[in-house]
Structure 1
Amino acid sequence: MIYDAVIIGAGPAGACAGYWLAAAGLKIALADRRKFPREKLCGGLLTCKTVDMLRTILPVEDIPKYGISGTYVFHHGRSAAAFKLLSEAYTVRRSQFDTLLVEAAEKRGVHSYLGEPLQSIDFIKREVCLSGGHRLGYSILIGADGALSRVRRFSGIPKNEMGFCVESHVPWELLKNPDHLRNGGIEIYYGDFSDGYGWIFPCEASVAVGVGNLAQGMTEQEILAQYQKFLADILISTDIKPAGAYLPSGTSVALGTPLYENLCLIGDAAGLIDPFTGEGIYYALLSAKTVTDAIVSGKTAYPEYERRMSRIIQEIQDTVGIRNRVYSPPVLKHSLDFMQSAAQYSEKLIDETIVRYAKTYADAYEELKFYSR
C-alpha cells in the first residue's frame, strides 16, 4: 500500500498530523507499536493554547478533563507560593485523551496500523516495514514515535538528550491532604531535584503523582529514590507501582536531516518540549500543524517545515539557558520569594509566559530580574 504520508507514532503529535493531513485530502497511514487505549506517562496538562488547536479536531467538551484554576508551589516540602490561573487549563488522562485523537483521525479517513512496531525503513524505496508484515510505501515519512524514536535512530539523527520521569496514577483516598487538588489546584514541588520538580495533577478518577529531572543531573536510580521519599510525604500508603519514561529536555531538537528531505520529526521524536515546565502536548500539536502546513504548501517537506519552525526552535534554545539559571538553588529561592510577595503581578506573568506564550521566557526573566532587585 502506498500513501502520501506514513506517520510512525499515534500519540497526540501523530494522530493530529494524520487528522489535519487527511482533512487536506491526503492519503495517510498511522502506525503505532501499541494498541489503544494505552497508558502514557504524562501529567496531562492542557493549557489554553493547546485547547485552541484541539477545537479544530474535536469538541473540547467531549474530552474527559479536570478543570485547573490554580497552582500551589512548594520548596523543600514547605509552602512557597500560590497563584490563580487567569486562562483556562485542564488535566486529562492520556489513555482517554490519546484514544479520542486516534479515533478522530480514523473518522477523517486515516488508515491505522495499531499494535505493529516499526521494523525497518528503506529510505531508497521509501517504504516502512511493520512487525505485522505490512509494507507501507510513502511520499513523506513523519516520525512521531516519542523521545526514543526509532525513526530518528534509523535516519542517523543523534539521539535526544533527555530527562527521566517517574509517575503513578493513585486513588484520591491515598492523599494525605487533597484540599488544593479538590479545589482545582495543581501542586509543584521544587528543591529536591537538581534540574526538575515533583508534581501532583488531579483528574476525575485519580491523581497523577510524578517527578522528573534532567538525566545528566540525576541518575534514574537517584530519581526513583527521591520519588519514594516524595510519595512518603504526600500519601497515606506508598504501596503503588510507578512507571518510568524518558522525555526530551529541549537541548537536542532535530526536525529531520538534509539527507532525507521527505522525512520530518514532530513532537517528542523531534525533542520538542518546554524546557522550563516540561509541557509537551502543546508542542506535539504545534509541530503536527506546522508539518501539515509545510506539506500542503507543495514545497519540499523538511526544508519548509524547518523554516516554519525556526522561530520556535530559537525560543526553545533560549529557554534552555533560562532554565539552567533559574533552577540554581539561590535564584530559584529568590524568585519564588519575590513572586509570592507580588502575587498579582506574578499571576499575570505566569499567564503571559507559561500559559499563553504571549511573552518569551527570556523577556520574562529579564523583567523578573528587574522588578525583584
Structure 2
Amino acid sequence: MNVLIVGGGPSGVSAGLWLLKKGIKPILFEKRTFPRDKLCGGLITPKGREELSLLNISYNHIAFEPPYINISDGADLNLRFKNDIGIQLIKREQFDDLLIDEYVKRGGILKENQEITDINTEKKYIINAQGQEYFYDVLVIGEGAGGRLRKRLNQTKLQNALCLEHKKKDEFSCDDEKSINVYFLDDKPGYAWRFENRDETVTGIGSLLDYTDLKNKFNNIFGEAGKLKGAFVPYGIQPSQSNIQDVYFVGDAGGYVNSLLGEGISYGIASGRALVDIIVNKDNSLDCVLRKNLRFYLSLRNLFFSKSLSKLNINLLKKYEEFAIFICKEFILRSDFSVYGYKKLLQHFWRYKIGR
C-alpha cells in the first residue's frame, strides 16, 4: 500500500508511526526543514502522554511540568490548584524534531522542503511546488487549519480562530513558582494563555475576532509585547473527514481540536492512531470515540459561552469552587470520559453536596 502524508506536525507523524507499526512504510512531505517552530502554547495533557506512551516515545527530557494551574475569566472566577495530574509544557521546535527523528529512525521516508500545491483525485497523485508528481493509494492530509489541499478538494471550510502569540526568554526563573494560566474571554468565545515554561514564558490569545480586535485584547490582558506571531486553528466545530475516497484528514486539518481550550497536540496525535485503524483495519471505532469526546468539549464550550448562561455559569463555578476544580482537572484537562470517570464525577458531586 502506497501511503503519502502531507504535513510533518504531530498528527501527520503520529499517522506515519502507526503505519510503520502496521508494516506500511509511508512517505511524509513537509514544506519546511526540521527543526522548525510553530505557533503553539505547547500544552501536553494526560491524554497526550497516553498517546505518546502507546507510540513508545520518550520525551520527558524536553518537557516541563509547572507546579500550579490557574483558570480565570479575568474578573469574578479565579481557580488556582496544584498541577497534580501531570500537565506538561513542551517547545514545538524540539517536540516536532524529536517526533520526526523517531519516524525516520523507525524506517519512515521524509521529504523536506516539499510544499504540496495540488492534487488529482481521479488519477490519485499530488503535485509539489516544483511540478513533481507522487502517486498514492491512500493520502493523509495533516497540513493544519489553513492548508491549501482542503480548498483544492472543495471540502467544507473550517471555522478557524485567529491566534496571536509572543514568547519571552526568562533570564531568572524559579521553577517552584511557575504555572499554567488560562483566561477565558468575557464577551467572545475564546481564551488567552500564559504558559510559564522552564526558560521562557509564552503568552497568547485565540478567538473568532479579526487581527486588530484580537491584538487589542491581547494588549489589554498582557500589555504591549512587540511583534506577535499569528496562525489559525479550528475552533468551535465538530471534526470532519474527507468525502473523497482514500483521502483523509488528521489533526487541525480535520478539526480534531479541544473546542474549549483549543488544545490540539493530544487530539492530533490520537487522530493519527484512529485514522490508521480506519486505513488498515477498516475500523472507525477509535475515531468515533475521539469525535464523541470532542463533542463533549464543544457542548461545554457552547454552554460556557452562552450569552444567556455565561454569567450564571461563572457564578455557579465560583460558588462551588471545589467542584469546579474537580471538573477542570478530570474532564477539561485529564479528559477522563470513561464510565469510571463519570462515576467519580457523580460521587464527588454527591459527597460535596452532602458535605454542605
TM range (shorter): 0.7 to 0.9
Measure the CA separation in 2 of the matches of 1:188 and 1:123: 42
**Runs of 5+ unmatched residues, structure 2:** none
Secondary structure of 1:284 counterpart: helix
Match of 2:333 in 1: 355
Deviation for aligned residue 1:61? 4.5
Deviation per CA, 1:12-57, whole angstroms, max 9, x where unpaired? 0001111110121112000011111111111110011111111233
In structure 2, which of residues 13, 31, 46 is the aligned counterpart of residue 48 of structure 1?
Answer: 46
Structure 1 residue 199 and structure 2 residue 162: aligned?
no
Rate the CA distance shift 1:171–1:73 in 2: closer, same or farther, 3 A.
same
Q: Does 1:319 align with 2:297?
A: yes
Q: Which moved more, 1:280-289 or 1:123-132?
A: 123-132
Which one is further off, 317-326 or 336-345? 336-345
TM-score normalised by L of structure 2: 0.87
The 8 Å contact of residues 160 and 253 in structure 1, kept in 2 or not, is answered as: no
2:183 counterpart of 1:183:
no
Closer, same or farther: CA 264–163 of 1 in aligned 2, 3 Å: same
Matches within 5 A, 1:1-373: 4-76=2-74, 80-172=78-170, 182-213=176-207, 215=208, 218-232=209-223, 238-257=224-243, 260-297=244-281, 299=282, 304-305=283-284, 308-328=286-306, 331-359=309-337
Distance 1:250 1:228, change over 3 A: same
1:328-362 residue CA offsets vs partner (Å, 9 max, x unmatched): 467445544544554443333222201222238xx
Give 1:247's aligned amino acid: V
- Which deviates further from its counterpart, 187-196 or 143-152? 187-196
Question: d(CA) in 2 for partners of 1:191 and 1:14?
Answer: 31
Q: Aligned partners of 1:239, 1:148: CA distance in 2, in Å? A: 25
Deviation (angstroms), 1:107: 0.9
- Residue 329 to residue 184, structure 1, CA distance change in 2 (3 Å): farther
Instruction: Specify the SS of the correspondent of 2:88.
Output: strand
Q: Aligned AA for 1:227?
A: F
CA contact (8 A) 2:2 2:136 kept: yes
The more displaced of 239-248 and 269-278 is: 239-248
Amino acid corresponding to residue 142 of structure 1 in structure 2: V
Task: Quote the residue 1:235 is aligned against.
Answer: none
The one-letter amino acid paired with 1:201 is F
Measured in 2, the distance between the counterparts of 1:170 and 1:135 equals: 42
Where does structure 1 lack aligned partners over 5 or more consecutive residues?
Answer: 233-237
Q: 2:325 aligns to what SS in structure 1?
A: helix
Q: Displacement, 1:317?
A: 3.5
In structure 2, C-alpha distance between the alignment counterparts of 1:60 and 1:24, rounded to whole Å: 20
What's the RMSD between the two structures over aligned residues?
2.9
Bigger shift: residues 334-343 or 188-197? 334-343
Quote how far apart the aligned CAs of 1:263 are.
0.9
C-alpha contact 1:160 1:252 (8 A) present in aligned 2: no
- Asked if 2 retains the 8 angstrom alpha-carbon contact of 1:157 and 1:254, the reply is no
Q: Secondary structure at the residue paired with 2:146?
A: coil
Output the CA distance in 2 between the equivalents of 1:329 and 1:351.
25
Residues 82 and 340, structure 1, Cα contact 8 Å, conserved in 2: no
Contact persistence 2:76–2:318 (CA under 8 A):
no
- What one-letter code is carried by the residue in structure 1 that aligns with 2:190? G
Q: How many residues are matched?
A: 348
Deviates more, 1:329-338 or 1:44-53: 329-338
User: How much identity, in percent, do the aligned residues show?
Assistant: 24
